[in-house]
Amino acid sequence: MFQRYTETARKAIFFARYEVSHLGGKHIETEHLLLGVLRSDSDLALRVLKEPVAVESIRKRIEDQSSRPEKSVASVDLPLSNESKRVLAHGADEANRLKHERIGAEHLLMGMLREKNCVAAKILGEAGVTLATVRQEVTRSMPESALGKADASPAPSAQPPPDFRDLTEEARNGTLGPLIGRESELESVMRILSRRTRNNAVLVGESGVGKSTIVHGLAQRIADGIAPANLAHRTILAIDASALIDARLDSEPSEFRLPENSIIYVRGLFDLAGKGSAWSSVEALHVLEPHLAAGRVHCIATGTPFGLRLTLERAERLASHFEVVSVLPPKEDEAIRILQGVKSQYEKFHGVVIGDEALEAAVSASRWFLRHRQLPDRAIDLIDEAAARVKLRRESHPPEIAEIERRIRLIVRQMESAIANREFTKAKSYSEEEKQERAKLERQRGDQSTDLNVPTNVVTAEDVLETVATRANILVSALQSRLQDKDVERLDLVAKELIKQLPAGGERWVDSLTAYLADCSVEEMERLLSAIRAAKARIDS
């Protein structure tokens, strides 16, 4: 029955049998299979559940629910319940669907999620795990050998297809971020795509202003069934401009095809002309023009203002197919609303709570100290790093907890080795020892939580300012003083003028200049600006 299973999947079944003997029962239920998968493939468990504590909480919940008076003996004869049989069948179907020759632990996990009413599916659902997220994780990050092909014969070589991402499918699965604001830009894109001629759009704006988010918003409208009728059944496929060109060069002209009745989103298409020569833009024209001219596909492209200018100079024929939609940086109040919309994603990823004052601090501080980048990207970057800082600070365990966790890992390895050798009496002894150590761990954590000095999981404005101060290599007090200065608007204008005086290619000096200006008064900054202007005037004369 298990000939097609990988070694990891077989271990999951074996561990599930052991769990029945430990927890009690006469059948291998789906919750036993879940525990078996968590034990056999800890890497998969952490990738899907994100937090080690989530794995522990699932185990504790199953143990609490499964305590029964009767105990069983781990045996190869223990039968699968009907639900577990269906889980295995679903897992095999998932492997076939993904064209994987072997059935791995990841397919068993997907099988549990497909058996929606089983205990394992409900527990995974409460932990925020969905079938779509597991499928995405499997196809995105797991190497081919881990996807059940380790023992298969190598397939004959073939030209790979372009690396397209199906944004409409991701929107249906709920993995795209929300579109907040940008309604006028989105409406402009939809109007252009609905035209008879020149019906391709290029979103032009500086890096970080949110051009991709507008395309994601269109994909979400299509997925939600609220797009215009002419776009309602389209699929948005995303690809980087360089990847599109590489795919075309790696294929025979007769083999290269773009999916019909689709909208191709080409990131950075209008920046190709600035990368050394016009060759890349000419190649992109060869890829896209036959499809655009025939009306088989529509295209949304992106680029910076500088890239657009060069494309008009060096590849005017490519630019002639597109209508420009300008994307300006949002104002600070709009940026705060955008951060409020996306913060839940960062809270879930980092396991923290992000306060509103942290969002406001990220926007205001980034205006002064990350001038070479645009809103909302620069503020989102600060929130991401500040949340990571809080998470690491919180997870820095004291030596007592670290030692208990080390002992638990050692005991688990010894127990798994005993199970693999079918030394079930010894395995049961290790299991009891593991339970005692975990109880000690909970008590130690409880003692730690009562300590008022233990860091919380709330990201505050102070955490954001510490992140900015570290990046700018200045004191937090100097940063706070600058942000509270009553002449901050005037300071901002003078600083912008100073940065404009930097020579071409001087972007790398912006952070150092900004850090220097943090300790300057307005008068000192204006004297410096006057001196630079005078020096430039002498050089020009």
User: Rounded mean pLDDT of the chain?
Assistant: 80
Q: So what's the pLDDT on residue 76?
A: 46
Q: Contact 263/237 with Cβ under 8 angstroms?
A: yes
Q: Contact 342/178 with Cβ under 8 angstroms?
A: yes
pLDDT digits 0-9 by tens, 229-269 = 889 889 999 998 888 777 665 555 444 567 777 899 999 99
pLDDT of 146 above 50: no
pLDDT of 70 above 60: no
Tell me the torsion sign for CA atoms 93, 97, 103, 109: negative
Q: Contact 250/160 with Cβ under 8 angstroms?
A: yes
pLDDT digits 0-9 by tens, 447-506 = 765 655 556 789 999 999 999 888 877 788 877 776 766 555 665 666 666 666 666 555
Q: So what's the pLDDT on residue 161?
A: 46
Q: So what's the pLDDT on residue 455?
A: 61
- The radius of gyration of the chain from alpha carbons, rounded to an integer in Å, stands at 29
Could you give the percent of the chain with pLDDT greater than 70?
A: 79
Helix (H) or strand (E) holding 267: strand 262-267
Q: So what's the pLDDT on residue 244?
A: 79
Which range is least confidently modeled, 29-33, 181-185, 276-280?
276-280
- In the predicted model, what is the mean pLDDT of residues 41-59? 74
- In the predicted model, what is the mean pLDDT of residues 14-18? 84
pLDDT digits 0-9 by tens, 115-135 = 988 999 998 888 888 887 788
Q: So what's the pLDDT on residue 418?
A: 84
Residue that wins the pLDDT comparison between 22 and 233: 233
Q: So what's the pLDDT on residue 286?
A: 76
Q: So what's the pLDDT on residue 308?
A: 92
Q: So what's the pLDDT on residue 517?
A: 65
- In the predicted model, what is the mean pLDDT of residues 66-90? 71
| Helix-strand-coil split of the chain, %, nearest 5 | 65, 5, 30
Q: Contact 31/83 with Cβ under 8 angstroms?
A: no
Tell me the torsion sign for CA atoms 345, 351, 353, 354: negative
Beta-ladder partners of 202: 301, 324
pLDDT of 16 above 80: yes
